[in-house]
Amino acid sequence: MLKEKINKYSFLLIAVVFMWIKTYIVYKTSFDIEIENIGQEFILFINPLSFLVLIFGFGLFMKEKNRNRFTVITSFILTLVLLANMIFYRFFNDFLTFPILFQTNNMGELGSSVTSLFKPVDLLLFVDIAILIWLMRKQNAFGEERTSKKGRSAYFLLAAAVFFLNLGLAEIARPQLLTRSFDREMLVKNISLYHFHIYDGLIQSKTFAQRAMADSNKLTGIENYIKASKKKPDDNLYGIAKKRNVIIVSLESTQSFAMQQKIHGKEVTPYLNQLANKSYNFENFYHQTGQGKTSDAEFLVDNSLYPLGRGAVFFTNSDNQYTATPLLLKKEGYSSAVFHANNKSFWNRDLMYHSFGYDKFFDINSYKTTPETTVGWGLKDKEYFEQTADLMKTMPQPFYSRAITLTNHYPFELKPEDKMLNDAGTSSQTVNNYFQTVRYEDEAVKHFIEKLKKDGLYDNSIIVFYGDHYGISENHNDAMEQILGKKITPYENIQLQRVPFIIHIPGVTDKHPKNMKEVGGQVDIRPTLLHLLGVKDNGRIEFGNDLFSKNRFPFTVMRDGSYVSNKYIYTQNKCYNRKTGETVDVKGCQPLSDKAKQELDYSDKIINSDLLRFLQQRKNE
């Protein structure tokens, strides 16, 4: 009797086992999931099982011939989920979320990146499906019988038992696991990639509900927190750039380690290094982006709010009301524009820039491109800066502008005639290419500054450069260890998240440059710039502080809950002495870890509930 039942359900059970083992292999070979003990390894091993037993079990409500087809189709769909996460993880070191999947109009633009990330070995993921199709045809099972209610009940009780065993072990290993929606690796490690996607969908539904249920009372507590955290800015620097044009340059994928590096004795960024010595230069400045990468950096710069932990604000909340920098400076007589040689709908920029209050978006249609002047993602940086400077001359002054570069974008393609460095010779061609494109970007920046001087825009401007996000992910740690000559620990990985931040004020900083060693982040850019421009803080909703403030507490929060302070670096649930890199008791990091989580939660509430709309309502009352 038992043998007959096993034979009857053998096809389904084989499919479950295939998918289970395949998922575990993907965990171990494609994702960098940290395992600390045998208990965590066991949880990782069993965590796909309850979902797979459940999802394949729905076939038990079908006749045998349809059940087998359902099993094959389900295996194929789940394999696509695995493959999509593998490809996404290879560059972003992260898992897909529903907001990212909604960004379908970006997919066409991502073609070259996705192609370079796909590997022929990935096709092995579909071997088990081919075997299942062969078995189904060999069995020639076309029975009309359905599983009995008693059989189905027993089956789903088994699925529930496995699920609660998994969840119980996970909660023991990581208490309050399901309150840590920002920590996707922790969720995948403990409840499975598949359950993570279900959980992520529930969080997305909750987010939609938050906006509908929001009221102005939720903003009051956040305002009180921000007011208590605000530090008095440096009065000596107030208004030193008043009424100057603002030119902010987003340096694509540029990390600080590249500025400090030489390849075969040649500086990677000779011009930026020279410029930094004649500017306000910030050595310990970190990007704070999440899945939205460049768009997240734009959001931080213009709003001094944190991006979301899932997806990109530019997609999920483009219809919110914001008090972005262009709106604030409009009251000071500024016009505003963004310059980016890409499609206006990419990252939903056309809608988001309207919400921010920009007067003009110079997109790809504003630029002249030819096959000779394009590479990788589009117009090469030198040609881009040349044309951008010409477009800037058409703007009413003073103006606030942001220029977004493209050439130093993964997969870091460059034409032979534009290469200015010899190959770095590491084990990763991605890392080797990266140094080439950063060097080209540096030369393009030099060309841009010279063009601004020629066009008469240089002297009356404040020119700001910032790195938007990392370019080299943790997947290339081996090559980075060759470059840096040391092991990339979680501590060192946080240090690699430093990006350039340079404020150059002609006639001011070249006479009195400053090299700032205090910790800062992208959330601090807006309050710092507005103070230099002489714009008073009349109770603005922002989490950043003036980086020149003598009373500012050095504290920078990453989107994943990690942070850097004057004493500690906290990441991956470990606490490090910031100066030595040695691990210390995690209890020492806990107070600031709680503060970091609170800031991220407050910022999420502002965005998800569209709380800034209530500021306008207050003015109208």
Mean pLDDT in residue range 151-174: 81
Name the token pair of 428: 């990763």
**Cross-strand bridge partners of residue 461:** 245
Q: Which structural domains are found in the chain, ordered by start?
A: 2-210 (no CATH), 237-550 (3.40.720.10)
CA distance 159 to 165: 10
Q: What confidence category does residue 2 fall into, taking pLDDT thresholds of 50, 70 and 90? A: very low
- Give per-residue pLDDT as tens, 293-335: 999 999 999 999 999 988 788 877 878 899 999 999 999 999 9
C-alpha dihedral (166, 169, 174, 177), degrees to nearest 10:
30
What average pLDDT does the segment 233-258 reach? 96
Helix (H) or strand (E) holding 527: helix 525-532
8 A C-beta contact, residue 66 and residue 147: no
Predicted local distance difference test score (pLDDT) of residue 398 = 97
Q: What is the pLDDT, as a whole number, of residue 434?
A: 95
b (16+ CB within 10 A) / e for 446-470: bbbbebbeeeebbeebbbbbbbbbb
Q: Please tell me the predicted confidence (pLDDT) of residue 500.
A: 98
Q: Is the dihedral of CA 329, 523, 361, 613 positive or negative?
A: negative
φ, ψ at 56 (rounded to 5°): -70, -25
Query: Is pLDDT above 90 for 127?
Result: yes
Question: Which residue is catalytic, options 294, 388, 407, 528?
Answer: 294
DSSP 8-state assignment for residue 108: G
pLDDT band at 392; cut points 50, 70, 90: very high
Q: pLDDT by residue (tens digit) across 574-609?
A: 999 999 999 999 999 999 999 999 999 999 999 989
What's the pLDDT score for residue 145? 60
The count of C-alpha atoms lying within 13 angstroms of the C-alpha of 57, restricted to the half-sphere facing its C-beta, is 18
Give the span between the Cα atoms of 58 and 71, in whole angstroms.
9
Rounded mean pLDDT of 277-284?
A: 97
Q: Measured between alpha carbons, how far is 267 from 264 in angstroms, rounded to an integer?
A: 9
Angle among Cα 117, 122, 126 to the nearest 5 degrees reads: 145
* 526-536 confidence digits (pLDDT tens): 999 999 999 99
Mean pLDDT on 259-271: 94
**17: which residues sit within 8 A by CB, 6+ positions away?**
none
Q: Which residues pair with 247 in a beta bridge?
A: 401, 463
Looking up tokens 């999420």, which residue turns up?
Answer: 604
For residue 6, pLDDT beyond 50: no
Q: Given this model, what pLDDT does residue 276 score?
A: 97
Segment 347-370 mean pLDDT: 91
Judge whether 458 and 452 are in contact, CB under 8 Å: yes
Mean pLDDT over residues 482-493, rounded?
Answer: 93
Between these two residues, 574 and 67, which has the higher pLDDT value?
574
Scored b (16 or more CB within 10 A) or e, 187-202 reads bbbbbbbbbbbebbee
Beta bridge partners of 402: 248, 338
Q: pLDDT by residue (tens digit) across 424-439?
A: 999 999 999 999 999 9
Quote the pLDDT of residue 83.
Answer: 92
Q: Which of 174-188, 197-211, 287-301, 598-612 has the lowest mean pLDDT?
A: 174-188
Binning pLDDT at 50, 70 and 90, where does residue 4 land?
Answer: very low
**The pLDDT of residue 314:** 84
Q: How much is the average pLDDT of 122-134?
A: 92
CB 260 within 8 A of CB 499: no
Structure tokens at 559: 């989107």
pLDDT of residue 3: 45
Is 294 marked active-site?
yes
Q: Kindly report the pTM of this predicted structure.
A: 0.77
Q: Which positions ≥6 away from 427 have C-beta within 8 Å?
A: 478, 479, 482
Alpha-carbon distance of 82 to 22, in angstroms, equals 9
- Residues above pLDDT 90, as percent of the chain: 62
Per the prediction, the chain carries an average pLDDT of 88
3-state secondary structure 403-414: EECCCCCCCCCC
